Structure 1
Amino acid sequence: MITLTKLNGQTFLLNAPLIEQVEAFPDTTLTLSNGKKIVVKESMEEVNHLTSAFYRRIGLVGLSAKEEGR
Structure 2
Amino acid sequence: MIELSRFNGSKFFLNITHVESVEATPDTVITLFNGKKFVVRDDASEVVQRITAFYQTASVYSAAPRITDEMME
TM (norm. structure 2) is 0.77
List alignment gaps of at least 5 residues for structure 1. 61-70
User: Aligned partners of 2:48, 2:24: CA distance in 1, in Å?
Assistant: 12
Q: Which of structures 1 and 2 has the bigger CA Rg?
A: 2
Map 1:8-19 onto structure 2 (within 5 A).
8-19=8-19
- Structure 1 position 59, deviation (Å): 1.0
Give aligned-pair identity as a percent. 47
* Larger fraction in helix: 2
List alignment gaps of at least 5 residues for structure 2. 61-73
User: Aligned partners of 1:57, 1:11: CA distance in 2, in Å?
Assistant: 22
User: Aligned partners of 2:8, 2:55: CA distance in 1, in Å?
Assistant: 27
Amino acid at match of 1:32: L
Amino acid at match of 1:18: H
- Structure 1 position 58, deviation (Å): 1.0
User: Aligned partners of 2:44, 2:24: CA distance in 1, in Å?
Assistant: 7
User: Aligned partners of 2:55, 2:16: CA distance in 1, in Å?
Assistant: 8
- Aligned-pair Cα RMSD in Å: 1.1
- Structure 1 position 50, deviation (Å): 0.4
User: Aligned partners of 1:48, 1:55: CA distance in 2, in Å?
Assistant: 11
